[in-house]
Structure 1
Amino acid sequence: FNPKLRELILAGKTQTLSPKENELLKMLAEHKNDLLPRERALKKIWGSDTYFNGRSMDVYIAKLRKYLKEDSNIEIVNIHGNGFRLVAP
């Protein structure tokens, strides 16, 4: 994962991430194997964007999960009611 270039490279494939996907994956990576509270991610990435529905973050998580499924050792786990965890060796 190269956050400066917004690239995720898995199984020899390069996926260019949107700015929001990049920030979200960066935060998850910084909290690798620990809980990333949903509210913290919302505040940092979306700030006071009144047009953003907090549940829409799940769409970004789903996209990241799709990209990460190329490497079965990495996954994003939902911690119901709290946030997400990037599980990686």
Structure 2
Amino acid sequence: MHQNELTDRSTILEKLWGSADFFNARSMDVYISKLRKKLEKDSDLQILNIRGYGYKLVSS
């Protein structure tokens, strides 16, 4: 739904878990890592980490 848009990390945390605390942030890191592994097979999709801001789902 939000392809190629930069999304703030805290916004993602709030929408998924209702809180942006440390433990939820670490859980999100694990999920992002797992998603990246699954997306490796599709060269048209990738999740970029924009340091200090959030994530971006890039579709070519």
Same fold (TM over 0.5): yes
Q: CA deviation at 1:47?
A: 0.7
Give the root-mean-square deviation of aligned CA atoms: 2.0
**Is the helix fraction higher in 1 or 2?**
2
* Higher relative contact order structure (alpha carbons within 8 Å, sequence separation ≥ 6): 2
- Verify the 8 A CA contact 2:17 2:24 in the aligned structure 1: no
Gaps in structure 2 of 5+ consecutive residues: none
- TM-score, structure 2 as length reference: 0.85
The structure whose Rg is larger is 1
- TM-score, structure 1 as length reference: 0.60
The 3 A distance-change label for structure 1 pair 78 and 48 is closer
2:49 to 61, 72, 78: 78
Percent identity between the aligned chains?
53
Aligned length: 60
Q: Which residue of 1 aligns with 2:30?
A: 59
For 1:36, the aligned partner's letter is T
